[in-house]
Amino acid sequence: MLRLALPLALSCLFACAHGKGLSREEAQARFSKLVTDYFDEAFAFEPTAGTVNGFHQYDPKLEDFSAARVATHVQKLQDRLDRAVALWTERVALPYDDLIDLEALESRIRADLLEWEKMGFRLQNPMTYSRIPGEGIDALLKRDFAPAPERLKSITARLRAVPAVYAAGKANVKTPPKEWTDLALRMANGTLGFLQDSVAPWGKQAAGADILALADFNRASTTAYAATQDWIHFLEKQLKPRSTGSWAIGPAFFTEKLQTEDMISEPLDALLAKGEAQLKADREAAVQTAQLIDRRKTVAQVVEAMQSDHPSAKDLIPAVGRSLEGVRQFVVSKNLVSFPSEVRPKVEPTPPYARNGSFASLDAPGPYETKATESYYYVTPAEDTWSPAQVEEHLRAFSTPVLAITDVHEAYPGHFLQALWMPKVPTKVRKLLVAASNVEGWAHYTEQMVVEEGFADTDPRIKLAQLEEALLRDCRFVVGIQLHTTTLTVEQGAERFVKECFQAPANAYEEARRGTYDPTYLVYTYGKMQIYELRREYLSQKGGTLREFHDAFLAQGGVPIRLVRKLLFEQR
């Protein structure tokens, strides 16, 4: 059993009550400066995140993950950590809300240092560099936060920076696992298509009659395209032959990652037992639900029949669009949560550069974006190059009942609705520091919650679909731990997804492979568990309606659920 002690600064939260301290005004000024300095450096280091969150001074820049820039980033992170710890040790008299934010910020800084100084997990992954150009340029292209000619200048600047992104990748990536290189190749080829089919025509239209702007754009675009071709050649000819490394981060890093990113402190053996127990419970519930649908068939046969009811490859995106409004109307009619806005997401195919194993995702503007409102509910289509059998396996993940549950998760009242709440959150820290266990836990929680509130009453297959999706997350829970702390292989992990979680073989492999680069994807199920526990406590102590609890939860932002609990109950 492995246990890591909580950092001193975290363990003394609200307990340090002696010693000479700063005045409240001095403490608040120091904390405010710390918050500003942390985010200034965070967005300077990852400018795409700055763009997405609405800080457009970073628009002309692209990520620089060179060794020198990473070293500078680590130095600045250490400075921010020292200042955060000093605020605790000086026994500051900060207001309650600031103390919560300080705890969240210190934990995130420790998570950043774990990533960039100790693990180097992202630096060693070629997918990191394959994704940056497409993601950075698309963030400027798809939202109308400024006139097109103005955004064109920033896109041109980012296109010029693409060769440096790949140069950093070539210098940093040594011997990754083959699974990462395979996905990096898929993403880089997607970037080529994106540059040619989306960026080039957009740039021509945005330039209009400005011949000089178009010439600058065309030169930068040609440079970026050639650099991407060269990166693909590097991946295929140089990196692939030496892609023999391990993805496993080991028990110590796995535990520290959970503690610092999500404030989950349970030992790994207890976590694994919890995941296995939830998998067993959801499997038994799926068997019972399948019997209600067709007593003559096994649960596997009922699920197989349900998965056969799916849209065609051509109709996949339109089918999602048609189903979405009905899901929204259900949530509204049941008065489950408040809607801060009438804006709807656009359903579109996942961009080619981002097709790395995800089946669906939500891309919403950040909480400081004041002009653009475009949100994108992405669904990953079947590739044109796939065989009919591969297409069929992919589409089985989008059965009609599962699509309804996916709509809940990605849009209403899942990710999209939570994104609509973020601008209303009161502090910068809680707006911008997002724990995966919070946002993924919320989205996964809503799947089960809406079924409990009657969403499956007219079609029991929706209940089975909800359990199928729960089992998928349960398998992620146990497989993620085992991939990184035991000798479990991707193929063995995929076998569990097939046998225990009703996934088609190709989709099961994608899910298991995702676990190699997303170690803690247990946060879906774990976060859902935390929210149910918090809901029971909230309604027991404070009373009120389900809507009141949901509104109270969403109003706290994206910080770890442990801190949401402190905010709701003001526990000092």
d(CA 337, CA 431): 19
**Per-chain mean pLDDT for the chain:** 94
Number of H-type helices and E-type strands within the chain: 25, 3
370: exposed, middle or buried (C-beta count within 10 Å: 0-12, 13-18, 19+)? exposed
Domain final position from 121, 141, 175 = 121
Q: What pLDDT is recorded for position 358?
A: 79
Place of tokens 């896109």: 155
pLDDT band at 11 (very low <50, low <70, confident <90, very high): very low
- Comparing CA positions, the residue from 161, 140, 160, 142 lying closest to residue 152 is 140
Residues 285 and 231 in one domain: no
* Model pLDDT for residues 344-381, shown as the tens digit of each residue: 999 999 998 888 777 999 999 999 999 999 999 999 99
Structure confidence by residue, pLDDT tens digits, 22-77: 888 999 999 999 999 999 999 999 999 999 999 999 999 999 999 999 999 999 99
Distance CA 336, CA 349 (A): 29
Cβ(505)–Cβ(393) under 8 Å?
yes
pLDDT at position 7 is 38
% pLDDT > 90, the chain: 91
Asked, for residue 3, whether it belongs to a domain, the answer is no
Same domain, 99 and 148: no
The reply to whether 98 and 130 lie within a common domain is no
- Whether 300 shows a pLDDT value over 50: the answer reads yes
Of 183, 214, 242, the last residue of a domain is 242
Based on the fold, state whether residues 534 and 419 are members of the same structural domain. yes
Burial of 535 (0-12, 13-18, 19+ CB in 10 A): middle
Give this prediction's pTM: 0.94
Residue 250 lies in a domain: no
- The yes-or-no verdict on residue 447 having pLDDT over 80 is yes
- Looking at the structure, do residues 315 and 389 belong to the same domain, yes or no? yes
pLDDT digits (tens, 9 = 90+) for 389-437: 999 999 999 999 999 999 999 999 999 999 999 999 999 999 999 999 9
- Assigned token pair, 487: 């000798």
Average pLDDT estimate for 68-94: 93
91 pLDDT band, cuts 50/70/90, is low
Domain hosting residue 486, numbered range: 256-569
